[in-house]
Amino acid sequence: MKKLFLLLTGLLIINMASAQFSIGPKVGYISTKLSSDLNDIESSLKDGLIVGAFARIGDKFYLQPEINWYTSGTVFKRPEMQSLSPFEQEIKLDNIQIPLFVGIKLLDLKLVNLRATGGVTANFVVNKTITTMEGGNYINPIKESDINDIHWGFQVGAGVDVLMFTLDVQYITGISKIIETINIGQQQVQFDPKQGFVVTVGWKIL
């Protein structure tokens, strides 16, 4: 994955000198979810704001690097069952995301165009907050040390440009784990990479 990211970065640098170039801010809505492999552990979706900036290099085919900030997280719950202790923990992560997307214009009407886009994302966790339900027999199995500082993802979707404004809708899937395998009593719990979607609006100021 790191080699692919470096290869795309190299292609970006090669094309910057001669290609059409635009840059601007973007803001949007992101919804992501983490889940576990145990049916008795419930997980709920967390929504948040994503803000950042993008550059676009190229015309019909283009590269689009970005830098974004967003908050993600999930609430994990398991009720008390026979000899199993209950737990409820909210995981909140502040992330800096650095994606590198490849895109193509599917329809170009000058003032309006339709695009397809996809690419890899490097996500750096800059702050971790774990809130654990207190009282009773509640336990706190997930620790900050179980959460990886860097995780990789992939996004694919479509976009529309209208004059200097951009609208993108993308599906998110993780390709590396955010939370490592943990032990809860006699159970070993695996956590799936995050999934979700993001909708953003951008403004090409240049």
* Per-residue model confidence as pLDDT tens digits over 117-162: 999 999 999 999 999 998 878 888 999 999 999 999 999 999 999 9
Structurally, the chain folds into a number of domains equal to: 1
Q: What is the domain range of residue 109?
A: 2-203
> At 8, which CATH number?
2.40.160
CB atoms within 10 A of CB 68: 22
Is pLDDT at 13 greater than 60 in this prediction? no
Mean pLDDT of 55-60: 92
| Residue 35 confidence (pLDDT) | 85
* Per-residue model confidence as pLDDT tens digits over 90-123: 999 999 999 999 999 999 998 999 999 999 999 9
Burial of 114 (0-12, 13-18, 19+ CB in 10 A): middle
Query: pLDDT-based confidence at 10, cuts 50/70/90?
Result: low
Structure-model confidence comparison of residues 83 and 50, the more confident one: 50
Is pLDDT at 16 greater than 70 in this prediction? no
Is pLDDT at 166 greater than 60 in this prediction? yes
Q: 33: which 2 tokens? A: 């979810």
Query: pLDDT-based confidence at 20, cuts 50/70/90?
Result: confident
How much is the pTM? 0.85
Q: Closest Cα to residue 121, out of 75, 178, 203, 62?
A: 178
| Residue 11 confidence (pLDDT) | 58
